[in-house]
């Protein structure tokens, strides 16, 4: 089933609930009724933060794993429970005000797009989609229907990252010509495809877990729970996990669009698992905060390259395991990931930063409070009291950038040229990976 057929079916399911999208800006005393799709580790974190808002009522919970669903629903006894999000959205179309999507990556777009076709505001976990074409489609639906949307990139609302954005845009290091970013996480897999299947556990609906992806036999402990990020059919590798978080602040601060060229130095593709170690180099057109061209280099996996001269810290200190370095004409701004203040480096030494010019609220050092801000921003936007800082108009471009690097991993050491207006590569063989075929399930 292709995307057009999927959307047609989704629209048919929602035919009883079509109302003007503008009506989703509620009065201040209105309560927001939320439905949650996906209740694994991240799904439970999303649920906890959304439900911590005093104006939220959790009315529906959905997960393909009955054990997880039972465990989570015990904390929300008034919420209806489902294993199939399509059934939930159809049956509760009039009782749901907003939808939270916290599934594995391959189900982000199918679930979100169905909800948006029903005029529901959506909070979707990162990366926004599994495919580039899905990211553009979700952006279009959100714009056409004027829906409140937010991507689940919680650090976007953290004090340290907001400060780094303001510092870069103030010109503290001058025009930025290079960004380097890194993570030691390894969401890659170099092993073989399982040649045998196992009995599906009674608590898991394996067909629904696979969703629109290609059908495969179940293998105990191999896909669910928690290992799907490393596999081509379901996840988006380390770039799609930590890359989204670490890219976010430089991408936002420098006001970047999508890149012109991408090259990934990695092992040859095996068609099943992502490479275990990547060095992805992007070239972006310049902005008012950058040189004429911006070079961006991403490193991931065990032993990610952190020994370059422009990554060296004063006094021989070690870099944090994850982070980013802005390299400009007047110095460098070092932004560890996460909850560490950005540091200014000039001529090999740290320099004090005067932040008195910036109107920022005091940092909240309690982690849960920092996290809640991003979720509460979405709730308040649905209630007409705020604006989302990571709407799909922004999230789709960031996700597209990430996914272009993932696609480049299928063509090791080859420069791919991206035409943003046409939404295609100059290298025709790469265009087949911009979208996929949806399985009917």
Q: Are residues 174 and 90 in the same domain?
A: no
Note whether 98 and 175 are same-domain residues: no
pLDDT band for 185, please (50, 70, 90 cuts). Answer: very high
| pLDDT, mean of residues 77-96 | 98
pLDDT at 19: 36
Say yes or no: 248 and 314 in one domain: yes
CA 211 remoteness from chain centre: 19
Q: What is the pLDDT of residues 137-183, one digit of tens each?
A: 999 999 999 999 999 999 998 989 999 999 999 999 999 999 999 99
pLDDT band at 357 (very low <50, low <70, confident <90, very high): confident
Does 90 share its domain with 172? no
What are the tens digits of pLDDT across the range 368-399? 677 789 999 999 999 999 999 999 999 999 99
List the structure tokens of 122.
Answer: 């959506």
Question: Encoding tokens for residue 189?
Answer: 């897999």
CATH number at residue 423: 3.30.360.10
* CATH code at position 114: 3.40.50.720
Given this model, what pLDDT does residue 359 score?
A: 72
Distance between CA atoms of 12 and 369, rounded to whole angstroms?
A: 40
Answer yes or no: is pLDDT of 18 > 70. Answer: no
CA 334/CA 438 separation, integer angstroms: 42
What is the rounded average pLDDT of the residues 74-93?
98
User: Do the strands 176-183 and 323-328 form a parallel or antiparallel pair, or are they unpaired?
Assistant: antiparallel
CB 360 within 8 A of CB 162: yes
Q: Which of 72, 14, 62, 13 is nearest to 34 (CA)?
A: 62
In order of 58, 65, 227, 324, the CA distances from 199 in angstroms are 34, 15, 18, 44
| pLDDT at residue 9, rounded to an integer | 47
pLDDT, mean of residues 13-29: 42
Domain boundary among 103, 136, 154: 154
Domain shared by 48 and 167, yes or no:
no
Answer yes or no: is pLDDT of 367 > 80. no
Can you say how many angstroms the Cα of residue 415 is from the centroid of all Cα atoms in its chain?
Answer: 24
| Summary mean pLDDT of the chain | 92
Residue 4's pLDDT is what? 53
Is 143 inside any structural domain? yes
Are 303 and 342 in the same domain?
yes
Residue 23 inside a domain? The answer is no
Asked if residue 101 has pLDDT above 90, the reply is yes
pTM assigned to the model: 0.92
24 preceded by a cis bond (ω within 30 of 0): no
On whether residue 199 sits in a domain, the answer given is: no
The answer, yes or no, to whether residue 421 has pLDDT greater than 80, is yes
Residue 108, in any domain of the structure:
yes
Q: Which residue has the tokens 């008012």?
A: 288
**pLDDT surpassing 60 at residue 27:** no
CA-based end-to-end distance of the chain:
9
**Residue finishing a domain among 108, 132, 154:** 154
What is the structure's pLDDT at 14? 39
| pLDDT, position 368 | 62
Whether residues 288 and 395 fall in one domain: yes
Q: Which domain does 281 fall in, by range?
A: 156-190+228-363+391-433
Q: Within 10 Å of residue 367's Cβ, how many Cβ atoms? A: 12
Cβ(193)–Cβ(388) under 8 Å?
no
The dihedral through the CA atoms of 104, 441, 274, 393 has a sign that is negative
* Among 22-26, 127-131, 136-140, 151-155, the least confident range: 22-26
Exposed, middle or buried by CB within 10 Å (0-12, 13-18, 19+), for 323?
buried
Q: What are phi and psi of 142, to 5 degrees?
A: -60, -40
Query: For residue 362, is pLDDT > 70?
Result: no
Query: Could you tell me if residue 371 is inside a domain?
Result: no
Q: Domain count of the chain?
A: 2
**Residues forming beta bridges with residue 178, ordered by sequence position:** 295, 327
Q: Quick one: 124 and 164 in the same domain?
A: no
**Are 97 and 182 contained in the same domain?**
no
Residue 2 has pLDDT above 60, yes or no: no
In a domain? residue 265: yes
Secondary structure class of 345 (helix, strand, coil): strand
In this structure, is residue 379 part of a structural domain? no
Helix axes 132-145, 392-408, angle to 10 degrees: 170
- The answer to the question of residue 328 being in a domain is yes
């Amino acid at each position: 089933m292709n995307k057009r057929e999927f959307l047609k079916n989704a629209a048919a399911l929602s035919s009883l609930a079509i109302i003007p999208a503008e009506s989703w800006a509620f009065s201040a005393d209105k309560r927001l009724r939320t439905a949650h799709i996906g209740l694994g580790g991240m799904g439970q974190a999303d649920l906890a933060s959304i439900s911590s808002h005093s104006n939220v009522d959790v009315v529906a919970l959905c997960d393909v794993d009955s054990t997880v669903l039972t465990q989570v629903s015990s904390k929300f006894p008034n919420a209806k429970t489902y294993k199939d999000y399509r059934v939930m959205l159809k049956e509760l179309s009039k009782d749901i005000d907003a939808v939270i999507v916290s599934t594995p990556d391959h189900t982000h777009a199918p679930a979100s797009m169905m909800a948006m076709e029903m005029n529901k505001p959506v909070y979707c976990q990162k990366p926004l989609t599994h495919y580039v074409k899905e990211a553009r489609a979700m952006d279009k639906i959100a714009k056409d229907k004027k829906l409140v949307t937010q991507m689940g990139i919680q650090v976007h609302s953290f004090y340290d990252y907001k400060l780094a954005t303001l510092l870069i845009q103030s010109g503290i290091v001058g025009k930025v010509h290079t960004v380097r970013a890194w993570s030691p996480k390894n969401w890659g897999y170099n092993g073989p495809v399982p040649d045998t299947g196992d009995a599906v556990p009674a608590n898991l609906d394996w067909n629904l877990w696979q969703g629109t992806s290609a059908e495969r036999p179940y293998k105990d402990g191999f896909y669910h729970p928690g290992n799907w990020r490393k596999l081509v059919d379901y996840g988006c590798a380390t770039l799609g996990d930590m890359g989204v978080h670490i890219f976010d602040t430089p991408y936002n601060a420098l006001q970047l669009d999508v890149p012109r060229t991408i090259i990934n130095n990695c092992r040859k593709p095996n068609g099943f698992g992502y490479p275990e170690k990547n060095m992805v180099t992007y070239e972006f057109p310049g902005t008012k905060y950058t040189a004429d061209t911006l070079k961006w280099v991403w490193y991931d996996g065990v032993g990610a390259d952190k020994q370059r001269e422009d990554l060296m810290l004063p006094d021989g200190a070690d870099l944090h395991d994850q982070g980013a370095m802005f390299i400009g004409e007047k110095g460098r701004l070092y932004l560890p990931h996460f909850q560490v203040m950005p540091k200014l480096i000039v001529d090999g030494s740290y320099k004090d930063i005067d932040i008195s010019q910036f109107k920022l609220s005091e940092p909240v050092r309690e982690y849960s409070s920092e996290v809640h801000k991003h979720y509460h921003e979405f709730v308040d936007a649905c209630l007409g009291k705020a604006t989302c800082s990571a709407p799909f108009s922004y999230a789709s471009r960031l996700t597209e950038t990430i996914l272009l690097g993932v696609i480049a991993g299928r063509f090791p050491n080859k420069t791919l040229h991206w035409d943003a207006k046409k939404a295609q590569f100059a290298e025709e063989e790469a265009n087949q990976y911009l979208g996929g075929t949806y399985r009917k399930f």
